[in-house]
Structure formats: C-alpha cells, structure tokens
Amino acid sequence: MNKYIAELFGTFWLVLGGCGSAVLAAAFPELGIGFTGVSLAFGLSLLTMAFAIGHISGCHINPAVTIGLWAGGRFPASQLLPYIVSQLIGAILAGAVLYLVATGKAGFDATTSGFASNGFGEHSPGGYSMTAAIVIEVVLTMMFLVVILGATDGRAPQGFAPIAIGLCLTLIHLISIPVTNTSVNPARSTGVAIFQGTWALEQLWLFWVMPIIGAVLGAIIYKCIGRKA
C-alpha cells in the first residue's frame, strides 16, 4: 500500500509542478517563464520525486513508464493496475487543486485557455497534425524508457538515475511542447483534460495509446542493447 500511496503523491507533484507552471507562470505578464521554464518544471518535479519516493515505489508516476518497465521485465504484472489507478488519482487531484487556484483569477476559463492540456491539429500549440503528434509521442516516450532502463540498470553509476531521468524529461519537453504540449504520460494528460472538459477529452485517446506504444518499444530496444555479454 505504501507503494501505491507514494505513486499517488508523486504523480500529484508532477502534474501540479509541471502543469501548474504552464497554467500559472508560463505566460505571466512580462515575467513569464515560457517553454523553457515549463520544461524545467516538469524535469525538476520528476527529479525531486525520484529522490523522495524512488526507494519506496520506484517513482514511475506515469502509466506508460509502469507498462514499459513491465515489458522490460522490471515490474510484476500483478501491480500494473493498482499503480496506474494510483497515478490517475494523483493526477486528477492535482488537476483539481490547480483548477481551484487558477479559477481564483477573474476571467479564467479552463475550456478556452486549454488548461495545459495535450492536443493536436488546431489544439496543438504550433498547429501540428495528428501524424506529427503520433510520431513525437511514440519516439520521445520510447527514448524516455531507454534512458530510464539504462540509468537504473545495476551496471550504471549508482545514485545518479534521478538526475539523468529528470533531465531527460526536461529535454523531452524542450523538444515537443510546440507539437503536443508534451504528454509522454497518460496520467498527466488525463489530470488536466478532465477540467478542460471538451476537445482535450476528445483527443485524450492519443495521449494514452502513443505513450504506451513508445514505452513498450523502448523496453524492447533496451532489452536488445542492454543484454549482458
């Protein structure tokens, strides 16, 4: 049970830190943190939680990562569902807290603002197509799993995995915020899509299916390249 609670709080922190920075601080008048700041917020949220709960639950805080670790032989199938449910609860709770804060500003509307939701086509920050969104989400989640599996391999330098993984998530956001607002995490996408309430829910399927496909591909790749001689 401690593992599941840790995953709940870890995902809560990731969504609150990452999406919160996007909703509240990215375009703040004159002092907005922009895409770079949001990218760092996601990376730092993951890095801090990796140190805080990595020794408890492994700090997956992402259904795609949990499934990828299972595909890579690092995680038991029996714990897949409770981990994913815990992650979703944490993400939705973070979305609720963020919604309560954001609506404290007069005129805020989650439906029209997008509420840091992931999207493609007319809902992509840069107007990128569904095909572009599919490619970027699959490829970046795939590389994320390669980094995660490599950094946590027993042969890797010990104690540095949270740094490598947090920086990887930062880089992923620096690449793909203009394309999809960056998901690579179905829980992160769900936690805010519920409160956006319209197009984000309609497009949510892509941000479940593609990160999971990418995660499984990443696990397969690491199994091939990471074999012991």
Query: What is the per-residue pLDDT across 135-170, written as a single tens digit (0 to 9) for each?
Result: 999 999 999 999 999 999 989 998 999 999 999 999
Close Cβ partners of 56 (under 8 Å, ≥ 6 residues apart)? 2, 3, 6
Q: What is the pLDDT of residues 87-136, one digit of tens each?
A: 999 999 999 999 999 999 999 999 999 999 999 999 999 999 999 999 99
Q: Please say if the pLDDT value at position 19 is more than 70.
A: yes
Q: Please say if the pLDDT value at position 229 is more than 70.
A: no
Of 95, 63, 45, the closest CA to residue 201 belongs to 95
Type of residue found at 11 = T
What is the pLDDT averaged over residues 1-20? 97
What is the pLDDT averaged over residues 198-222? 98
What is the pLDDT averaged over residues 214-229? 91
Instruction: Provide the 8-state DSSP code for 109.
Output: -
Q: How far is CA 16 from the centre of its chain?
A: 11
Report whether 219 contacts 64 (CB < 8 A). no
Report whether 90 contacts 61 (CB < 8 A). yes
Cα of first residue to Cα of last residue in the chain, in angstroms, is: 37
Task: Report the pLDDT value the prediction gives residue 31, as an integer from 0 to 100.
Answer: 85
Q: Please say if the pLDDT value at position 58 is more than 90.
A: yes
From residue 29, alpha-carbon distances to 33, 41, 178, 219 in Å are 10, 18, 20, 42
Task: Report the pLDDT value the prediction gives residue 44, as an integer from 0 to 100.
Answer: 98
Instruction: Provide the 8-state DSSP code for 123.
Output: G
Q: Please say if the pLDDT value at position 1 is more than 90.
A: no
From residue 183, alpha-carbon distances to 14, 157, 190 in Å are 12, 28, 10
Of 152, 185, 139, the closest CA to residue 43 belongs to 185
Q: Please say if the pLDDT value at position 54 is more than 90.
A: yes
- The Cα–Cα gap between 144 and 148 comes to 6
pLDDT over 90 for what percent of the chain? 94
- The Cα–Cα gap between 23 and 115 comes to 6
Task: Report the pLDDT value the prediction gives residue 228, as an integer from 0 to 100.
Answer: 73
Q: Please say if the pLDDT value at position 83 is more than 80.
A: yes
Of 72-76, 92-96, 223-227, give the lowest mean pLDDT range: 223-227
Mean pLDDT value across the chain: 96
Specify the pTM: 0.95
Type of residue found at 178 = P
pLDDT over 70 for what percent of the chain? 100
Task: Report the pLDDT value the prediction gives residue 108, as an integer from 0 to 100.
Answer: 93
Of 176, 180, 177, 175, the closest CA to residue 199 belongs to 180
- The residue among 2 and 1 whose pLDDT is bigger is 2
